[in-house]
Amino acid sequence: MAGLTKLEKLSRGLLKLVERCNSFILPGSSRPECHTFLVHSCQVGLIQPDVWKHLINYPDVFVISGSDELTSRKSLSIKDTFKTANERTAAVAKVLEDLRQKDVFLSLRGWRNETYDIRHTFAEVPLLAIERSGTGLFGTVEYGVHINGYCHKDGQLMMWVGRRSKTKQTYPGLLDNMCAGGLSSGLGVRECAIKECQEEASVPMEMFSGLHQTGCISYIYEDERGIFPECEFTFDMLLPETFIPVNADGEVDHFELMSMEKIKEMIIDEEFKPNSALVIMDFMIRHGLITTENEPNLCYLIEMMHIPLQKIYSTGSGF
Amino acid sequence: MAGLTKLEKLSRGLLKLVERCNSFILPGSSRPECHTFLVHSCQVGLIQPDVWKHLINYPDVFVISGSDELTSRKSLSIKDTFKTANERTAAVAKVLEDLRQKDVFLSLRGWRNETYDIRHTFAEVPLLAIERSGTGLFGTVEYGVHINGYCHKDGQLMMWVGRRSKTKQTYPGLLDNMCAGGLSSGLGVRECAIKECQEEASVPMEMFSGLHQTGCISYIYEDERGIFPECEFTFDMLLPETFIPVNADGEVDHFELMSMEKIKEMIIDEEFKPNSALVIMDFMIRHGLITTENEPNLCYLIEMMHIPLQKIYSTGSGF
């Protein structure tokens, strides 16, 4: 990127970032070949052909419920004999345990013994829960929380970022928000944010009055582990200048207090976990650091971090 | 809405609001019958059938350039003989002036002598400019600015809202943001925000260091004046407790300093211009006043105020 100004480099970096986080909706993805995953006739996910061919071997659990003549797209449904969320959860868990034993999917090697709730939309009740390492196989929406921990030092806005442990399953060694985590089954959003702040950064209880939610970002990507439509609830936390985060769960190698200029450079250099960079981009936009005065693609960046995941499976709008 | 709690009433009100602002993409709109509007083979708009039948009477300016067999959708293009933005602007202006003379469209009775730049995406150069009262006929994306003027009074967050003049062409007598306005041809986004603050609220120059951009919202509706895909750049301005806005251009009847609780009630009662209510909803979300703890539909609300207008005409994704 020689010859480019700092602003041009950042602009290219941000464009690359939002497209990387949305690889599933860009040309060349598996999207046109994917089949749909239904519960109670409601679409809640997407299945890649390579995954499909294994899942159809479990006719006790799944039924192929239809096919779209226009697109050759088929649908896989959990059988209606499984009537409750608990029954569906148990049935799918058995399938995933079997596939894990057979070592069919890379993703299942990272078995977590932790489940994500699967809902039609976030406002609705969970239809089932799926083992965290297996949700990408079904392309179901995952929810999580990210906390921007920032402070003012000598009048300058600074942000605490963590360097992920080199032993983390996903994105080892990359930079991350001060705290972040997936929304496991049964956890509330704020409850999850507080838990992550405690475990990952040892934030003391009396500081949580300064933790406030600021909305969410959403995007959809695919990689070798599957399809990931993700919605991350974002939080800002203005920290006292004297506060220093200390990791308590071994997931963070160390923390650094960075200027926003330094963070921009780290985003350009792809030193950040992509969705965490997106969360910081959202922070910079909300705080007036990325504007139409310095970023020509502002509108496009904003819409690429607000992919309509709530409607994506309910309207048949291209998904 | 008797029997509902305050929170339930607000939740219903916000749902109604986002759906009203996006009437074009909901069932029952003219969307399936619309034709596309192209410049240089790029889609930049949508034309309702009732408008289409008039525009095709100007073969000197427009050419019907194709039809989609699957949907019976046709395309109207500005003839390639008009090579520059200025030439295209003049050609379309002549058509609109003629239609105005013939009094064919309600919308053109509100002729403004002010144009909006039409771009393929906001990052690109304008392809032409169209008289403000006529853009709805072509369904081109309009850009504007909205300023949330707020302060802290006795520790409470309060917001200045304006009551629109009863003589305004659009939404007379409704509540509005402290300042707002369309982005006329040639104006920069921040420049436009400052101009509106000066004209509508007499904000003095030295206060603009406190004006900061916070992103944008986008939505698409239709009404009797046409189709309106709109992107509004949002600004927050923390005001001194002593500042009192004074209107200078006759567009505001009077200003009121309201608590956020009062504003929520006014939104429920549909006392606000819809897109201004959406801007305040975005403010409340960013400032942690509407969260997953008090609003079950938060994710859906957020995606309904970030409709992908930049991609809407470039990917053929249902539009």
The per-residue pLDDT for range B176-205, each reduced to its tens digit, is 999 999 999 999 999 999 999 999 999 999
A31-138 and A142-312, same CATH topology: no
Cβ-Cβ contacts under 8 Å, B215 against chain A:
285-286, 298, 302
Percentage of chain B lying above the pLDDT 90 cut: 89
Phi, psi of A55 (to 5 degrees): -65, -30
Q: Is A292 left (phi over 0), alpha (psi -120 to 50) or beta?
A: alpha
Cβ-Cβ contacts under 8 Å, A318 against chain B:
317-318
Q: What is the DSSP letter of B125?
A: P
Cβ-Cβ contacts under 8 Å, A317 against chain B:
317-318
Cβ-Cβ contacts under 8 Å, B122 against chain A:
292, 296-300
Q: What is the model's pLDDT at position A312?
A: 75
Q: What is the DSSP letter of A121?
A: S
Please say whether the beta carbons of B14 and B269 come within 8 A. Answer: no
- Chain B nearest C-alpha distance from A56 (Å): 30
CB pair distance less than 8 Å for A309 and B291: no
- Mean pLDDT of the residues in chain A: 94
Residue A144: its H or E element: strand A142-153
What residue in B sits closest to A292 (Cα-Cα)?
Answer: B189
- Mean pLDDT of the residues in chain B: 94
DSSP 3-state of A224 = coil
Residue A213 is nearest to which of B212, B288, B306, comparing CB atoms?
B288
Please say whether the beta carbons of A218 and A261 come within 8 A. Answer: no
- Chain A nearest C-alpha distance from B284 (Å): 9
Rounded to 10 degrees, what is the CA torsion of B298, B238, A203, B302? 10
User: How far apart, in Å, are the Cα atoms of A188 and each of A125, A184, B109, B185, B243?
Assistant: 13, 9, 53, 47, 40
pLDDT band at A316 (very low <50, low <70, confident <90, very high): very low
Cβ-Cβ contacts under 8 Å, B293 against chain A:
188-190, 213
Q: Return the domain boundaries, chain B.
A: 12-26+142-312, 31-138
- Helical H segments across chain B, by residue range: 6-21, 49-55, 85-101, 135-138, 189-201, 260-268, 274-286, 298-304, 309-312
DSSP 3-state of B263 = helix
Residue A318 is nearest to which of B213, B299, B317, comparing CB atoms?
B317
Q: Residue B66: pLDDT above 80?
A: no
Please say whether the beta carbons of B85 and B73 come within 8 A. Answer: no
Cβ-Cβ contacts under 8 Å, A189 against chain B:
291-293
Sign of CA dihedral A133, A135, A137, A139: negative
Residue B212 is nearest to which of A121, A288, A297, comparing CB atoms?
A288
What is the CATH class of A31-138? alpha beta
Residues in chain B whose Cβ is within 8 Å of chain A: 121-123, 188-190, 212-216, 218, 231, 233, 236, 285-288, 291-293, 296-300, 302-303, 306-311, 317-318
Chain B interface disruption, residue of A8, A24, A189, A213, most B CBs within 10 A: A213
- Which has more pLDDT, B2 or B178? B178
The tens digit of pLDDT for each residue in B222-279 reads: 999 999 999 999 999 999 999 999 999 899 999 999 999 999 999 999 999 999 999 9
CB pair distance less than 8 Å for A215 and B285: yes
CB pair distance less than 8 Å for A123 and B310: no
CB atoms within 10 A of CB A281: 28
What residue in A sits closest to B125 (Cα-Cα)?
Answer: A296
What b/e readout covers A146-176, taking b as 16+ CB neighbours within 10 angstroms?
Answer: bbbbbbeeeeebbbbbbbbbeebeeeeebbb
Q: Residue A66: pLDDT above 90?
A: no
CB pair distance less than 8 Å for A216 and B318: no
Phi, psi of A207 (to 5 degrees): -90, -10
CB pair distance less than 8 Å for B302 and A233: no
Please say whether the beta carbons of A235 and A148 come within 8 A. Answer: yes
CB pairs under 8 A between A and B: 122
Residue A310 is nearest to which of B285, B300, B307, comparing CB atoms?
B300
Give the tokens for residue B302.
């957020």
Q: What is the model's pLDDT at position A119?
A: 95
Amino acid at A208: F
CATH fold of the domain at B12-26+142-312: Nucleoside Triphosphate Pyrophosphohydrolase (3.90.79)
Residues B21 and B305: their CA atoms lie apart, in Å, by 8
Beta-carbon contacts of residue A231 (< 8 Å; ≥ 6 apart): A122, A141, A142, A143, A144, A216, A217, A218, A309, B299
The tens digit of pLDDT for each residue in A21-49 reads: 999 999 999 999 999 999 988 899 999 99
CB pair distance less than 8 Å for A308 and B308: yes
- Chain A nearest C-alpha distance from B118 (Å): 15
Reference B234, options B175, B299, B286, B307; nearest CA is B286
What pTM value is reported for the model? 0.96
Residues B107 and B197: their CA atoms lie apart, in Å, by 27
Please say whether the beta carbons of A58 and A95 come within 8 A. Answer: yes
Give the tokens for residue A15.
């464009």
CB pair distance less than 8 Å for A216 and B311: no
What is the CATH class of A142-312? alpha beta
Please say whether the beta carbons of B199 and B178 come within 8 A. Answer: no
DSSP 3-state of A247 = coil
pLDDT band at B70 (very low <50, low <70, confident <90, very high): low
Residues in chain A whose Cβ is within 8 Å of chain B: 121-123, 188-190, 212-216, 218, 231, 233, 236, 285-288, 291-293, 296-300, 302-303, 306-311, 317-318
The tens digit of pLDDT for each residue in B114-150 reads: 999 999 999 999 999 999 999 999 999 999 999 999 9
Reference A200, options A131, A158, A253; nearest CA is A253
Chain B interface disruption, residue of A71, A303, A319, most B CBs within 10 A: A303
pLDDT band at B169 (very low <50, low <70, confident <90, very high): confident
Residue B288 is nearest to which of A122, A212, A299, comparing CB atoms?
A212
User: How far apart, in Å, are the Cα atoms of A90 and each of A54, B75, B129, B273?
Assistant: 18, 52, 60, 50
DSSP 3-state of B305 = coil
Residues B133 and B97: their CA atoms lie apart, in Å, by 11
Distance of CA B225 to the CA centre of its chain: 13
pLDDT band at A169 (very low <50, low <70, confident <90, very high): confident
Query: For the residues A241-253, what does the mean pLDDT come to?
Result: 94
Q: ∠ at Cα A158 (A154, A163), nearest 5°? A: 140
The tens digit of pLDDT for each residue in B45-59 reads: 999 999 999 999 999
Residues B95 and B228: their CA atoms lie apart, in Å, by 20
Reference A44, options A143, A134, A145, A128; nearest CA is A128
Q: Residue A319: pLDDT above 60?
A: no
